[in-house]
Structure formats: structure tokens, C-alpha cells
Homo-oligomer: A and B are copies of this chain.
Amino acid sequence: MEFQDYFPIWNKLNTAQQDRIMGSLADRNVKKGTVIYSGSLDCTGLFLVKSGQLRAYILSDQGREITLYRLFDRDMCLFSASCMIHSMQFEMTIEAEKDTELWMIPAETYKSIMEESAPLANYTNELMASRFSEVMWLIEQILWKSLDKRVAEFLLEEAAIEDTSRLKITHEAIANHLGSHREVITRMLRYFQNEGMVKLSRGMITILDENKLEKLKG
């Protein structure tokens, strides 16, 4: 599989634009735990994940973190090229959560093509909207429902009641307990799973990191 197969609108670029990308592309392999971008670093470029996993998070003055979203195979990271879009003024940190292979497109190359290519500019719009939606979802959960805390509390309570870390319970049942919806609970549990707190399998939720859940519960 080549870069062309990973880049979704490759065929909508003209040959000159394709050549500019191919001519400036860099391959990178990063080890798990490497911070590949932080708000204070220069405008690195866009990352396209070939394989592995990246995590985008924000960091408080006190060193607290909150995960904004994750990037998996074929995902593209826009915010590591924040200089590309004038109004993009916020800081986040991007870290390799697994050993990751990726391509890096220099910000200037991408920007110069985006300025002349409606397909690339529209694709970029879609990418940004998609991340924006994830972040909005997160805000709502945290602000209104403290749903993260409530799910954590529920799981810990169940584990204590049943005296096991392997909970046989459906997402539907948790939703009913918490006055929420199955889809919302599933999404929150996946968030927990990505954070290494639980493992999800058919009809089962296994608690992997009780301390982390306790801490989240507050």
C-alpha cells in the first residue's frame, strides 16, 4: 500500500499537485510515547497515519491532561500544521500511543495546494468539522452530564457488588441505570477503553485499571 492509497482525494488532484506532494513527503517511524507535536513546537506538518495510533490531548498548567481524540490508520492530523490555517489558534499535544508509521506532508506544500484546489480545501473542511464534532461531544459529556464520572462510578459499584472485575452487563442496561442512551454509553465505554481503563468484549466489560476509574469518579 502506497501513500496514494491512503490519501482519500488523491485522484482529485492534478499531476502537478500530486508531484509536489510526492516530492516533499517524508516517512517517519515514531516509538510509542514520543511526543510528535506540541503547541510550543514549530508548525510541523500534516501527519497521515500508515499504522499505529496517535493521541491528541490538551494539558493544563498543573499538568492535567484530557484526551481530545485519537488517530488510527488512514487518519490525517491537521492540527500539527496549525500555521496552515491562520485562525487556528489553540495548543494541543500529539503523542504516539503505539509505535507508529506515518507520512509527513510539509505545511507549506499542503497549504499551497489547498489554496488552489477546491477538493483539497473541502476535504480539509470535512476533517476539521469531524474533529470539531468530537471535541464538542466531549465538552457536552463533561459539562452537562458528568457522564464520564457517572459511568465510572457505576462500573466500580457493580464490580464491588458482584465482587469481580469482569462485569456481565449490556450497554443498554447501563444506559437504563443512568437515564442515558445506549449509543452514548457505548461511545463513553469506548473512550474508557481507549484510555486503558476497561476492555470491551461481547456482553462483558472488564475493568483493567481500577485506580484510573476511581480517580475519574472523583
Contact = CB atoms under 8 A, between A and B. Distances in A.
Contacts of A125: 85, 114, 121, 124-125, 128
A60 B118 contact: no
Interface string A115-129: 111100110111111
A86 B117 CA distance: 19
A133 B88 contact: yes
Q: Name A's interface SS.
A: helix
Nearest to A92: B136
A211 interface: no
A66 interface: yes
Contacts of A115: 118, 122
A136 B124 CA distance: 19
Interface stretch (A23-31, A137-145, A196-204): A137-145
Contacts of A90: 132-133, 136-137, 140
A64 B143 CA distance: 10
A22 interface: no
Contacts of A87: 126-127, 129-130, 133
25 contacts: A58-B140, A60-B140, A60-B143, A60-B144, A60-B145, A85-B125, A85-B126, A85-B129, A87-B133, A88-B132, A89-B129, A90-B136, A90-B137, A90-B140, A92-B136, A114-B118, A115-B118, A117-B118, A118-B121, A124-B125, A125-B128, A131-B132, A138-B139, A139-B139, A143-B179
Which 7 A-B pairs have CB atoms at the shortest separation, nearest pair first? A121-B121, A87-B130, A60-B144, A90-B136, A88-B129, A87-B129, A118-B118
Interface of A: 58, 60-62, 64, 66, 85-90, 92, 114-118, 121-122, 124-133, 135-140, 142-145, 179
Given A89-B133, A114-B118, 17 more contacts: A64-B143, A85-B125, A85-B126, A86-B126, A88-B132, A90-B132, A90-B137, A117-B118, A121-B121, A121-B125, A124-B125, A125-B125, A125-B128, A135-B136, A135-B139, A142-B143, A143-B179
